[in-house]
Amino acid sequence: MIRRFFRLPLCAVLLFALTGPGAAAEKDRPLLVYTAITATTPQIPLWAALAELGPEKVSVEYWKTPDDLRGVILAGRGDIWVGHLEGFAQAALRKAPVTLLAVTGWKKFRFIAPKDSPAKDMASLSLELREKGEVLHTAPQGSPALAVLDETRKRGGPSFTTVSSQPRQLILDMLRGSVRYALLPEPLVSVLLAKRPALKVVAGLEEEFSNLYGGPKRLPLAGIAVNTRFAKENPEFVKRLERDMEDRAARLAGDFAAAANVLPEAVKENLGMDVILASLAGDLILVEPAAGIKEEIAAFLRMALSGDAAALAALPALLDGPFLLDEGKKP
């Protein structure tokens, strides 16, 4: 069990804000997890695995944007991070102490259109937008979905003219009716549809990409990473965490109510259980150890990092190094 292997090191934590640089070391601090308050599926297996530790043993911080999380990782703050794979890779390429433990987020992005739209898939939606002279609005800015759309265009598939916005502004515009077509992530899609039933989901981006080019109808979008230093000091805990997440995900895959219930109270209060359950209905609760799907991760990161030549050149070495946790070796 997780509790058996949990041995936090004696960390010298300087409490500048409270006592200045002469503060004593904090010996038994809680496990520090950074996650997003809007995340659902990507963090469910983690909280299911950590549940037995008890709330007093785990501290949670919520990041607001991918840039926020990158800054946290580069500074080496925290023990466990829930985030997007390209962000973890970008931080690792800048020598941040980050090791990808597992992929937990696979089906996230949805094409949204008015209910009277005849579009049934990505290709027919692309044609409809061209005929009407409309653009596809996307959120958040810098979304990995844009890289997938770009890859589709390069391969001669459906193409879109896109405009990126911040999620809050795009949701407001769609509620007002000034924007009608969008590519949004869950759970924002479920939030939007609950408030504006005149809209519908046309298709999922991950499934459409797989329909066009083959694959398991998923993309390794998000997951769980650990601070490399923490992993080296707690190798048995980290390995057991990975195995427990796999086990818990398998148990929860068919029980959305139980899956939603393991989320932190702050997440449930922020989104509401109705939205969380609606979001999970079209999702995939699955944990895959990062080292076991190396090629799938590599293919996705080649898309997500396609605008950075230096990152693409360094990617093979990164994926052959300690960035992907290998259960057979010490972190």
CA distance 87 to 73: 9
331 lies in a domain? no
Asked whether residue 136 falls in the same domain as residue 229, the answer is no
Complete edge-to-edge strand list for the sheet that includes strand 162-164: 162-164, 136-138, 182-185, 109-114, 199-204
195 part of a folded domain: yes
Question: Which pLDDT belongs to residue 2?
Answer: 55
Integer Cα distance of 282 and 287 in angstroms: 16
Helices marked H in the chain: 2-5, 16-19, 44-50, 66-74, 85-93, 122-132, 144-154, 167-176, 188-195, 205-213, 228-233, 235-252, 256-261, 265-271, 273-281, 294-304, 309-320
Q: Against a cut of 0.85, is the pTM above it? A: yes
**Residues 201 and 185: beta-carbon distance below 8 Å:** no
Domain final residue, candidates 213, 230, 263? 213
What pLDDT does residue 17 have? 28
Q: Same domain for 138 and 286?
A: no
Q: In terms of Cα–Cα distance, which of 35, 48, 33, 99 is closest to 286?
A: 48
68 and 39 housed in the same domain: yes
- Asked if 121 and 202 count as a contact pair (C-beta separation under 8 A), the reply is yes
Same domain, 192 and 259: no
Q: Which residue has the tokens 């770009």?
A: 150
Q: Is the dihedral of CA 229, 246, 217, 158 positive or negative?
A: negative
The parent domain of residue 126 ranges over 109-213
Nearest to 110 by CA among 174, 204, 181, 207: 204
Nearest to 102 by CA among 319, 290, 322: 290
Structural domain includes residue 163:
yes
Torsion of CA 99, 102, 37, 191, to 10 degrees: 140
Do 95 and 122 lie in a common domain? no
Domain boundary among the residues 197, 213, 229 is at 213
Inside any domain, residue 276:
yes
What are the counts of helices (DSSP H) followed by strands (DSSP E) for the chain?
17, 11
Structural contact between residues 200 and 182, judged by C-beta atoms closer than 8 angstroms: no
Name the burial class of residue 327, with classes exposed (0-12), middle (13-18) and buried (19+) by CB atoms within 10 angstroms of its CB.
Answer: middle
| Residue 4, pLDDT score | 44
Residue 325 lies in a domain: no
Same domain, 136 and 11: no
Considering 213, 247, 270, which residue would you say is the last residue of a domain? 213
Helix 294-304 to helix 309-320 angle (10° resolution) is 170
Predicted confidence pLDDT, tens digits, the chain (331 residues): 554 444 444 333 322 222 222 222 344 789 999 999 999 999 999 999 999 888 889 999 999 988 999 999 999 999 999 999 999 999 999 999 999 999 999 999 999 999 999 999 999 999 999 999 999 999 988 899 999 999 999 999 999 999 999 999 999 999 999 999 999 999 999 999 999 999 999 999 999 999 999 989 999 999 999 999 999 999 999 999 999 999 999 999 989 999 999 999 999 999 999 999 999 998 999 999 999 999 999 999 999 999 899 999 999 999 999 999 876 554 4
My answer on whether 120 and 262 are in the same domain is: no
Q: Is 326 within a domain?
A: no
Helix (H) or strand (E) holding 183: strand 182-185
Q: Which of 183, 162, 163, 146 is nearest to 307 (CA)?
A: 146
Cβ-contact 79, 29 below 8 angstroms: no
Domain shared by 122 and 177, yes or no: yes
| pLDDT value, residue 1 | 54
User: Which among 211, 219, 214, 171 is positioned nearest to 194, based on CA atoms?
Assistant: 171
User: Taking CA 16 as the corner, what is the angle to CA 14 and CA 18, rounded to the nearest 5 degrees?
Assistant: 110
pLDDT of residue 10: 31
Q: Are residues 23 and 152 in the same domain?
A: no
How many domains is the chain built from?
Answer: 2
186 near 259, Cβ under 8 Å? no
What's the one-letter identity of residue 164? S
One domain, residues 136 and 42: no
> CA torsion, points 313, 318, 320, 321, in degrees to nearest 10?
150
| Same-domain status, 227 and 265 | yes
Cβ-proximal residues to 318 (8 Å cutoff; 6+ apart), any chain: 89, 92, 93
CATH number at residue 182: 3.40.190.10
